[in-house]
């Protein structure tokens, strides 16, 4: 073909350059696969993350390369010349992104469990890139056209049930994220998501800054009322922070809560309380109020592009509640009873303070302190006495016991070093079927608070179960923020913390029990996924757990029957406080997203809304707006924090079913239905239908009111 000699050098140059570029592309592909955060997991149990080898330096390259690999897979699906089918479109989408999924497992650990200034800088850099990546998929017109073709065909000729569910969820996801917008609106939609991603990261990092930097150091003379174990832990933390001979109260709930419950130093209680509830609200460079205002404006603008009136209307359409009106109706039905109970609780506390001659009016930093005194008077129940029977190690055994009775699981500690962990305090258990010995997965537990770890308690998965492309076992974790005990001491927790421990384990069991084929079906419906975890809390107070696992940390004796009776009698004690602090946050979340955000003053809006609700002045919201990470560090719980109460209606109703069963909470027939209909299906069937299959009817709010000791309407 080369007719003219003078063109040969040019052809050769082109060939050389092509070879160079091709070689470079291949090298980049090899580099991507070689990055430890992207590599396929090896070792036992179906392969495990190489947590011991991850480095912050690998994060940026891994995430960028992982996104690139995923986009190439998506482009191949979108540009397939064959007619769209479930197999060549939906199944291929389910199959795509394995490298990126693995990288995100490491990223999640570095973000939530082991954050550092270096990582946060990278996180800030990557946030807009993640948003652009998602937009490239959600707004891929060729891809959506194929998805819509499969969806439309499935309406006329339905697929198998699980395939139909995947198609519907996939199509809905595209529709809700702007796939049908015109080009100009798509561009703005993507730009908004990019702006939001940066704001979410900034919000989260601001909260973490205030948690790490507001520490109260005490002298020995300021330890009045505090328990011995707490004092030892506070001394160790202070020493680690360079304050030898002092005692540190960190700005996390696990440290704040016990301090203001037991400390006799009222001014210090006020200081610790103020530090905690002012996170993100200190009028400095880490203040979150303006960030919230901007988030609300952008969220409203984005959903208006889709034709919705407000963010809540858009968000709740695929939740159990369906509409913000339904969610608000539930909260408004419970609110009056909750604040009425608070008034009774405050009156009881004020009476105690007056009788003691304390000469005070109950303030928020007094609530927990005087509630304990009322508890002792009314029920002769001392929380510190109860705590002596709540050892974390024994509670862990108790949870494994419950999992064995209900799910037929056996937990065996993995202590041979075959499973890498990201921090020395993390423990790992193998989960197997008790009868067959079949491996279900691995359970990781990261129990202690530390610098760089976000506050609270949560569950997560590193690998979810599917039977698609081979049976995948589950790698799941529970994460807590207990103050680490002094060496040799047992970690003792409160009854509330023990409930939370069981709660998060409920999420893990929901992961382990998954029996779905496609990855998408492991996704959760936010106001439903809290139900399974809240329900598991009920097994903490069963006789089998109390008699076998709640033993005194020094004597080894089981909890006496008299103390058990007191705990059960006091089960609804302080429900005014716990219900109101939660509901105030949930209502505020919804009100923020229903309001016009154009000129919103976040601090003023919070105060005015609480005033309109007649919020008792003696307690705060559980999460004040400037540190409400559920809602403003991402979108998982935005206009969805109500979901805990929605789920608790199901929980209370299901608990009554167990209470009425022939063998109570360990009734085998009901436990089998629990697993079959409420845990194993995940999102493969509609949650409302799943509950009806379990209970034979819809859940009733009256069960919730009875459960909390509130008046039940006769209507």
Task: Using the predicted structure, report yes or no on whether residue 7 has a pLDDT greater than 60.
Answer: no
Domain boundary (225, 253, 277) is at: 277
Q: How far apart are CA 365 and CA 376, in angstroms?
A: 19
The residue with tokens 């529709």 is: 175
Residues 45 and 172 in one domain: yes
Residues 246 and 168 in one domain: no
Residues 218 and 268 in one domain: yes
**Mean predicted confidence (pLDDT) in 469-481:** 94
Residues 91 and 149 in one domain: yes
Domain that holds residue 175: 35-180
**pLDDT tens column, 635-651:** 989 999 999 999 999 99
Is there a domain that residue 71 lies in? Answer: yes
Q: How far apart are CA 649 and CA 653, in angstroms?
A: 6
Residues 2 and 48 in one domain: no
Residues 172 and 129 in one domain: yes
Is there a domain that residue 329 lies in? Answer: no
Q: Residue 412 has which token pair?
A: 């065996």
Which of 517, 549, 511 minimizes the C-alpha distance to 532? 511
**pLDDT tens column, 326-365:** 999 999 999 999 999 999 999 999 999 999 999 999 999 9
Contact 449, 252 (CB under 8 A): yes
Residues 136 and 42 in one domain: yes
Residues 120 and 43 in one domain: yes
Q: How far apart are CA 165 and CA 286, in angstroms?
A: 43
Residues 59 and 142 in one domain: yes
Kind and range of the H or E run holding 247: strand 247-249
**Mean predicted confidence (pLDDT) in 654-681:** 97
Task: Using the predicted structure, report yes or no on whether residue 459 has a pLDDT greater than 70.
Answer: yes
Q: How far apart are CA 288 and CA 299, in angstroms?
A: 16
Is there a domain that residue 52 lies in? Answer: yes
Residues 134 and 21 in one domain: no
Task: Using the predicted structure, report yes or no on whether residue 653 has a pLDDT greater than 60.
Answer: yes
Which of 26, 2, 22, 23 minimizes the C-alpha distance to 12? 2
Residues 60 and 13 in one domain: no
Helix crossing, 141-156 with 59-78: angle to 10°? 50
Alpha-carbon 361 to chain mean position: 36
Task: Using the predicted structure, report yes or no on whether residue 511 has a pLDDT greater than 70.
Answer: yes
Residues 146 and 117 in one domain: yes
**pLDDT tens column, 299-329:** 999 999 999 999 999 999 999 999 999 999 9
Q: How far apart are CA 195 and CA 302, in angstroms?
A: 11
CATH code of the domain covering residue 141: 1.20.1050.40
Task: Using the predicted structure, report yes or no on whether residue 18 has a pLDDT greater than 60.
Answer: no
Is there a domain that residue 201 lies in? Answer: no
Which of 469, 461, 437 minimizes the C-alpha distance to 514? 461
Q: Record the pTM.
A: 0.88
**pLDDT tens column, 254-299:** 899 999 999 999 999 999 999 999 999 999 999 999 999 999 999 9
Give the pLDDT of residue 486: 87
Q: How far apart are CA 630 and CA 590, in angstroms?
A: 13
Give the total number of structural domains in the chain.
3
């Amino acid at each position: 073909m080369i007719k003219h000699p003078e063109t040969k050098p040019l052809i050769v140059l082109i060939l050389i350059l092509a070879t160079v570029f091709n070689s470079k592309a291949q090298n980049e592909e090899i580099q991507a696969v070689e990055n430890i955060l992207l590599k396929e997991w090896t070792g036992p149990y179906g392969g495990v993350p190489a947590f011991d080898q991850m480095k912050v330096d690998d994060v940026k390259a891994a995430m960028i390369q992982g996104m690139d690999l995923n986009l190439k897979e998506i482009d191949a699906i979108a540009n397939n010349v064959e007619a769209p089918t479930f197999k060549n479109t939906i199944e291929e989408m389910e199959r795509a992104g394995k490298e990126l999924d693995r990288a995100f497992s490491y990223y999640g650990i570095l973000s939530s469990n082991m954050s550092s200034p270096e990582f946060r800088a990278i996180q800030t850099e990557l946030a807009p890139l993640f948003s652009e990546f998602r937009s490239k998929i959600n707004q891929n017109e060729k891809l959506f056209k194929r998805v819509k073709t499969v969806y439309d065909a499935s309406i006329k000729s339905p697929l198998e049930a699980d395939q139909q569910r995947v198609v519907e969820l996939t199509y809905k996801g595209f529709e809700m994220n702007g796939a049908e917008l015109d080009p100009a609106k798509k561009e703005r939609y993507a730009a908004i998501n990019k702006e939001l991603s940066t704001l979410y990261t900034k919000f989260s990092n601001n909260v973490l800054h205030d948690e790490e930097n507001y520490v109260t150091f005490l002298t020995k003379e300021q330890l009045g009322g505090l328990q011995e174990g707490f004092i030892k832990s506070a001394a160790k933390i202070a020493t680690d922070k360079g304050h030898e001979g002092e005692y540190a109260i960190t700005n996390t709930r696990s440290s704040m809560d016990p301090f203001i419950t037991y400390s006799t130093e009222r001014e210090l209680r006020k200081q610790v309380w103020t530090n905690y509830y002012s996170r993100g609200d200190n009028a400095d460079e880490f203040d979150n109020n303006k960030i919230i205002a901007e988030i609300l404006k952008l969220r409203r603008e984005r959903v208006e592009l889709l034709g919705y009136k407000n963010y809540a209307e858009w968000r709740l359409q695929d939740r159990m509640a369906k509409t913000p009106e339904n969610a608000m109706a539930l909260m408004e039905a419970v609110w009056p009873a909750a604040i009425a109970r608070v008034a009774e609780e405050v009156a009881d506390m004020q009476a105690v303070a007056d009788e003691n001659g304390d000469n005070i009016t109950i303030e928020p930093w007094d609530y927990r302190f005087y509630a304990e005194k009322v508890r002792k008077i009314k029920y002769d129940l001392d929380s510190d006495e109860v705590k002596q029977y709540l050892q974390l190690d024994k509670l862990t055994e108790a949870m494994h016991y419950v999992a064995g009775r209900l799910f037929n699981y056996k937990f065996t500690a993995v202590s041979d070093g075959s499973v890498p962990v990201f921090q020395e305090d993390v423990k790992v258990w193998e989960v197997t079927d008790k009868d067959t010995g079949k491996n279900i997965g691995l359970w990781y537990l990261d129990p202690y608070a530390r610098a760089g770890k976000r506050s609270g308690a949560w569950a997560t998965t590193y690998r979810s179960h599917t039977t698609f492309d081979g049976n995948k076992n589950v790698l799941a974790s529970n994460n807590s923020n207990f103050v680490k005990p002094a060496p040799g001491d047992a970690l003792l927790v409160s009854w509330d913390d023990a409930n939370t421990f069981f709660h998060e384990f409920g999420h893990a069991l929901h992961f382990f029990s998954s029996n779905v084929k496609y990855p998408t079906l492991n996704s959760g419906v936010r106001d439903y996924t809290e139900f399974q975890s809240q329900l598991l809390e009920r097994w903490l107070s069963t006789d089998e757990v109390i008699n076998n696992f709640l033993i005194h940390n020094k004597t080894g004796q089981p909890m006496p029957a008299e103390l058990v009776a007191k705990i059960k009698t006091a089960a609804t004690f302080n429900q005014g406080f716990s219900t109101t602090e939660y509901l105030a946050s949930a209502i505020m979340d919804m009100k923020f997203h229903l309001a016009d955000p154009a000129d919103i003053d976040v601090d003023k809006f919070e105060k005015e809304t609480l005033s309109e609700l007649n919020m008792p002045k003696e307690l705060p919201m559980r999460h004040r707006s400037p540190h409400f990470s559920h809602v403003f560090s991402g979108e998982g719980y935005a206009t969805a924090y109500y979901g805990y109460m929605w789920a608790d209606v199901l929980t209370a109703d299901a608990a009554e079913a167990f209470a009425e069963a022939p063998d109570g909470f360990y009734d085998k027939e009901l436990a089998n239905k629990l697993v079959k209909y409420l845990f194993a299906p995940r999102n493969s069937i509609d949650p409302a239908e799943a509950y009806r299959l379990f209970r034979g009817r819809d859940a009733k709010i009256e069960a919730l009111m009875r459960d909390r000791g509130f008046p039940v309407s006769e209507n």
